[in-house]
Amino acid sequence: MISIEELTDFIVEAKAKTYIGDGSRLPACRTGSHDLGHHRGSWRYLDSYFGGTDFAGQEAVWHDGTPCWAMNYFGRIIRPELINARRAGAVIKAALQTMYREKRHFLGGMEYQHAYGCYVDSSRGGTDHFSGRETIFVDGEEAYELDYRGGLIVP
């Protein structure tokens, strides 16, 4: 049986090494998808998403070949006159890099000031079952949003 702490540590590691760490892309597992992966020992992680400025995706973790955790998400630029995809990506990467390094978790409870805007991530629940929202405010206006939810997969 895996522990929540082990799973959380692996999720943080995988997220830090893929999107945030500009990890290498995998061949698309579905037509048109962008796929990023990470593995260590008996653990495997895949982030597979569609789109760019507006996007949807799913992250999943396998342990010993069995799916054990997943998260889905949908994000979009709300106010393109305030922020573009490149700037939103820079804010998100900087904020999440700080969250993973300093807090060693991946769920909410964070505000991060960046030159391009203020990143806010709020969530409820824990690794086993959660939902949350990520936003970027520019000059006090919500310019980007992402909703996410996920948790353990129980056979």
What's the predicted TM-score (pTM) here? 0.94
Closest by Cα among 15, 1, 32, 34 to 150 = 15
Q: How far apart are CA 137 and CA 115, in angstroms?
A: 11
Mean pLDDT of 38-47: 97
User: How far apart are alpha carbons 70 and 61 in whole angstroms?
Assistant: 6
Q: What is the pLDDT of residue 22?
A: 83
pLDDT at 1 over 80: no
Residue 12 has pLDDT above 90, yes or no: yes
Residue/partner pairs of 1-5 with CB below 8 Å, 24 or more apart: 2/63, 2/68, 4/126, 4/127, 4/128
Q: In what order do the strands lie in the sheet with 141-152?
A: 25-26, 34-40, 43-51, 55-63, 66-77, 141-152, 129-138, 117-126, 110-114
Distance CA 83, CA 140 (A): 12
Instruction: Please say if the pLDDT value at position 130 is more than 80.
Output: yes
* Closest C-alpha to 39, from 27, 54, 23: 23
3-state secondary structure of 45: strand
Q: What is the pLDDT of residues 58-106, one digit of tens each?
A: 999 999 999 999 999 999 999 999 999 999 999 999 999 999 988 888 9
Residue 23 has pLDDT above 90, yes or no: no
Q: Please compute the mean of the pLDDT values over residues 46-61 and round it to a whole number.
A: 96
Q: Write out the two tokens for 53.
A: 């400025």
% the chain with pLDDT above 90: 89
Cβ burial of 36 (10 Å; 0-12, 13-18, 19+) is: buried
- Strand-pair partners of 77: 144
Q: What is the pLDDT of residue 108?
A: 83
